[in-house]
Amino acid sequence: MVLLSLTASHHELDLDALERLSTGSMSVGRTVVGTCRPVQGTVVISTCNRFELYLDVDAPLDGDTVRHATRHVAELVAESSGVSTDVAASSFTVRTGSEVTEHLFAVAAGLDSMVVGEREIAGQVKRALAESRADGTTSKTLELLFQTASRTSKQIGRSTALGGAGRSLVAVGLDLAGRSMRPYPVARAVIIGTGAYAGATVAALRARGCEDIRVYSRSGRAQAFAASHGTGAVGVDTESLVEALGDADVVVSCSGARGGRPGPAADAEASLAYVLDAASVARARERAAARAGDEPEPDALVILDLALHRDVEPSVADVEGVLLYDLASLTAHAPATERAVVDQAGRLVAQAAARFEETRLGRAADAAVVGLLDEAERQVAVEVAAAVERLAGELAPHGQEPTESDRDEIARAVRRRAHAALHGRIVAARATALAEARAAEAAVVAAAERTLRAVPATD
């Protein structure tokens, strides 16, 4: 088996390019497993700042199978997202073996996030594995990889200052919003969406003293979410949302409804519509002004768009009295993280990845070690037989012969000497086997990466 990952994130692409690449691509994992026989499993991570596919490939060391899988994935991503194949291919960074492991562990720990150390990503990694299980696309190797990534993330959270810093896009956004609105204990908030970010937003708002929280969702899940989180729910139509916005001080939109799994063809156009457009926000501001009457102008409405696929129409920023912050602007305001803390977390990631890789690749090394042990046992048997024969010759003149206890003692002494002499050879054989396995995987990914870059355009 070869671990292979194709990753695209905010480090390599701007958010607009990343949005185009990941639109409609959540189904790629199922399609790859269903149509590419060598791929034994996939897990897809799609968040506000990354789109990553992790594959477990049954590949020979010549790399042809991996090259085929890599080409096939690039074509499927292109087909599902509407970009050309060469754009999809050139957008991905290809990793294999230990590179896959170390990258995923760093992602799960928040070291690769827009806000370094953010904790939401750990939950997103767990949900990616759960979704893969539900789709029937995971594998034993991917299960172990992702479960170990989650444990490593928890360890880093407990062992470093990164875990207690409360860093997240939600926190950055709410802190930024708090500078332009009335204090949170008397503020009214509207959350658009019912996913993980919505739950994190409820917790972050309450931590700041905000209790007047209402939730809106086009999917119809607002009532259930509100009941489970102790918030109010907004009606299911646009007018209900406009009415709620008229009273709101801050809106956090994190539904990602425009980038979800595509529905029936009849719903395709609706799925591309913004959840919150400029006309709706303008109507909400007009209603707020009408209610205020002769009172001073209402405070600014702060809107935080945390969805990669933009819940909020960009022209909302032009509506008078509205401050709109999207992912790019929030990232620019993210706090810096101390280099020493990041380095400490990075060392823990590297150590955990090395342990995982040694276990994963240890099967090849174990075969070499078993061969040495089998050889040693054969030699032990020969030496024991010779030693027993010598003892028998010494005892024969006295009318005695070696007892079972004598045989056991001789066997233990010979085996101790043999294993002591073998220790150095075992260490060397294991190291050589691991190095050869790593070198083979490196050769595979190099060939796959060359093929990926050479995929011809289909447009």
- Specify binding-site residues: 47-50, 113, 118-120, 124, 193-198
Summarize the annotated binding site for substrate as residue ranges.
Answer: 47-50, 113, 118-120, 124
What is the DSSP pairing of strand 322-325 with strand 212-216? unpaired
C-beta of residue 87 within 8 angstroms of C-beta of residue 18? no
Q: Say what angle helices 98-108 and 120-135 make with each other, to 10 degrees.
A: 120
**Identity of residue 39:** V
Q: Could you give the C-alpha distances from 447 to 54, 57, 63, 98, 258, in angstroms and in order?
A: 18, 15, 7, 17, 36
Query: Edge-to-edge, what's the strand order for the sheet holding 93-96?
Result: 39-47, 50-57, 2-9, 93-96
Q: Could you give the C-alpha distances from 16 to 82, 84, 449, in angstroms and in order?
A: 14, 15, 24
Count of Cβ atoms closer than 10 Å to residue 126 Cβ: 17
Tokens of 179: 């500078």
> Which residue do the tokens 């280099």 mark?
339
Q: Is 348 exposed, middle or buried (0-12, 13-18, 19+ CB in 10 A)?
A: buried
Helices (H), 293-399: 327-332, 339-395
Decide if 48 is catalytic.
yes
Integer Cα distance of 439 and 292 in angstroms: 71
CA atoms 86, 92, 93, 95: torsion sign:
negative
Catalytic residue annotation: 48
